[in-house]
A and B are shown apart, each in its own frame.
Chain A
Amino acid sequence: MTTRKRNGEAPPVEQVAGNGLLHRRALLGRGIMLAGAAATGAGTSSTSAAAEPLKEDPWSLTMGSISLPRQVPSRFENHVVRTLSNPNHEFRNSHGRTPHHLLHGTITPAALHFTICHSGLPDIDPEKHRLVVHGLVKEPKIFSLEDLARYPMVTRPCFLECGGNSAPMFSKEPLQVNAQAIHGLVSNSEWTGVLLSTLLEETGIDPKAKWFLAEGADSLALHRSVPVKKGLDDAMIALYQNGERIMPGNGYPMRLLLPGYQGNMNIKHVRRIKLLDQPAMSFYESKTYSQIIPGGKAWLFHFLQEVKSFITQPSFGHSMKGPGTYEVSGVAYSGTGRIARVMVSADGGKSWGQAALQGPVMPQAFTRFRMPWRWDGQPAVLQSRAWDEAGNVQPTRAEFVAVRGEASAPVSPLGFPNQHYNAITSWGIDNNGAIKHVYA
């Protein structure tokens, strides 16, 4: 079905999939899209009341407030915050989740980047912090932050995702929580630092080295094993996040960045890199991040955060403001490389239309996708599905569950029944415009 050209002015906007999904070309010009919408009579019906005459508001009639050395968001944005799993700072870990449903674009503001702190935020003096590289190297070396600041640096966007992100979706029943609760343990920053390969070039590598352990300066001395192959490929000792020093919860003053690999491996506050001929079999790789698969076996070394996408606008917690034209938007990413394609469905996966990808599309980084949609006020189920450049495709929930299973017990939104969930998320919209989390 296509919309009809009425005045001979606006080109038709093609409907590309069921339930009102429009061709992504409609994004190229608002005029086209609105003309198309008008042609069907499905305009902005609920907001079409005549506007009131303009007047001056108080803020236009007086000098504003003082500029601060470090800006803070408008007081009207105070609700745009992370949700905390351990607000009373008890002796255990603490998760801060990114409010994806309130953000746009691709870069997560550093203050809203997700954090998982296993023993609080260490108060590290950057002048005293050291990074030692030792073990199976030709010459062990120790570096200060000041030293590293003189090394050649690189800058790249990169997503970080906890292996347990989206774990609420292991629940047999869809939990009625928002994108922040389900997917809030992934964020995307621009990182600047020194490639680990640069430092390894300086220390030399014993050919027997196949792994390295990275260890943090936190009170747990949290450590993980990483193949040397990754260390020489694109691993970075990151010093800056979105142009400023790394936030304490994200690893101040330096962290290991392993593009596309499980968040916990990207050791924060990194103080030690030790090259080994075998993995260290640390607590976190032995237990937390080795997940049980159906049948009693378990997966070990699930390095990759696999191809995934989810819709952020509209999503649970929003409500539709009447029938009319909307932009469906979300993020897609893959640990393997670039996003190649995102398809969107408004009828629960019966039909799909190709979304526009906001460029530049960068490897192992958030890619924003957008899809024009004309909602007719009837029930709809919105889904997104991503493909990466290696040909990996995001599974449907049914495909995923067939391989990975579901939780046997009820799931708390803060719980982690299993790890590495990357299947499709579905938002169900009823004829009142309310949005629920559904399985479709």
Chain B
Amino acid sequence: MSTRNLLLSIPLALALGSTVLGSAALAQQGPNLGKPITEADVGAWNLDVLSDGTGLPAGSGTPAQGAPIYSQKCAVCHGEKGEKPAPGYGPMIGLHEFKTIDAPKTVTYYRYATTLFDVIRRSMPFPTPKTLTNQEVYALTAYILSINKLIGENDVMNAQTLPKVKMPMADNFIVRFPDRI
């Protein structure tokens, strides 16, 4: 749409009873100032991991590998072995059933285990986020799943195994407003 058409469209939209809020009707075409960027160049920010495993990097880790990293980098807030967290923090070991509406929620509440890898990689450790290697993130993910009895002590977490971990609440979520998706 040219500038001329854009200007013409405004009175038209107003005539149609469009308010400022319904301005999709104005169909404002921008001045095309966005610069093209390749997906490769977005890479440093492109850390999200989806529930089907999309975005999981190469590498792997086990609970045994994760335990010392957890003790060194996580326990100060989340508590040794996931117990007795610092004041103001929730426990890292959680329930497998949520029978009251105010039951404390932690990793065991997630619908997908991939969320754990994602949040550790993007947000943790809290004072120094994005300093862990992918191997460390896999190892911590394995350790935290293991202390919650969601995987075995010798299980290896990688891009193939992590999305397959069955979470206790997986089948209990109801989409609240499906018509808005």
Q: Residues of A at under 8 Å CB distance from B?
A: 90-92, 119, 132-134, 139-143, 147-148, 150-152, 154-156, 170, 194-195, 197-199, 201-203, 210-211, 213, 215, 219-223, 227, 229-230, 232-234, 259, 271-272, 274, 276, 278, 280-283, 286-288, 290-294, 296-304, 362-363, 404-409, 411, 417-418
Q: State the CA gap A242–B77 with chains docked (Å).
A: 38
On chain B, the residues within 8 Å of A363 by CB distance are 21
A291-B101, A303-B176, A363-B21 given; A198·B29 CB < 8 A? yes
In the complex, the answer to whether B24 meets A197 with C-beta atoms within 8 Å is yes
- Given A142-B37, A147-B34, A286-B111; 7 other pairs, CB 8 A cutoff: A221-B123, A259-B21, A281-B111, A294-B101, A296-B98, A298-B98, A300-B174
- Chain B 68-109 interface mask (CB, 8 Å, partner A; 1/0): 000000000100000000001100000001111111011001
On chain B, the residues within 8 Å of A404 by CB distance are 101
On chain A, the residues within 8 Å of B111 by CB distance are 281, 286, 290, 300
On chain A, the residues within 8 Å of B4 by CB distance are none
- Chain B 141-176 interface mask (CB, 8 Å, partner A; 1/0): 000000000000000000000000000010011111
Closest 6 pairs (CB-CB, A-B): A141-B34, A417-B102, A152-B28, A147-B33, A283-B119, A408-B100
12 of the cross-chain contacts (CB-CB < 8 Å) are: A92-B88, A151-B31, A154-B26, A195-B28, A211-B181, A219-B123, A272-B42, A278-B52, A281-B110, A296-B97, A304-B177, A363-B21
Interface SS of B by simple majority = loop
On chain A, the residues within 8 Å of B77 by CB distance are 91
The interface size bin for chain B is 35 or more
B43-51, B58-66, B132-140: which one contacts chain A?
A: B43-51
Q: State the CA gap A213–B122 with chains docked (Å).
A: 14
Q: State the CA gap A292–B172 with chains docked (Å).
A: 10
In the complex, the answer to whether B102 meets A418 with C-beta atoms within 8 Å is yes
On chain A, the residues within 8 Å of B34 by CB distance are 133, 141-143, 147, 199, 202-203
Whose C-beta in chain B lies nearest to the C-beta of A140?
B37
Whose C-beta in chain B lies nearest to the C-beta of A337?
B21
Q: State the CA gap A69–B19 with chains docked (Å).
A: 35
Q: State the CA gap A302–B176 with chains docked (Å).
A: 5
The answer to the question of B16 belonging to the interface, with a C-beta cut-off of 8 Å to chain A, is no
Q: State the CA gap A2–B56 with chains docked (Å).
A: 72
Q: How far is the CB of B166 from chain A (nearest CB, A)?
A: 15
Whose C-beta in chain B lies nearest to the C-beta of A405?
B101
Q: How far is the CB of A437 from chain B (nearest CB, A)?
A: 19
Q: How far is the CB of B156 from chain A (nearest CB, A)?
A: 22
Q: State the CA gap A119–B119 with chains docked (Å).
A: 14
Q: State the CA gap A282–B116 with chains docked (Å).
A: 9
Q: State the CA gap A194–B28 with chains docked (Å).
A: 9
Q: How far is the CB of A395 from chain B (nearest CB, A)?
A: 15
Q: State the CA gap A129–B32 with chains docked (Å).
A: 18
In the complex, the answer to whether B36 meets A140 with C-beta atoms within 8 Å is yes
In the complex, the answer to whether B106 meets A287 with C-beta atoms within 8 Å is yes
Q: Contact partner of B109 among A232, A287, A303, CB < 8 A?
A: A287
In the complex, the answer to whether A210 meets B181 with C-beta atoms within 8 Å is yes
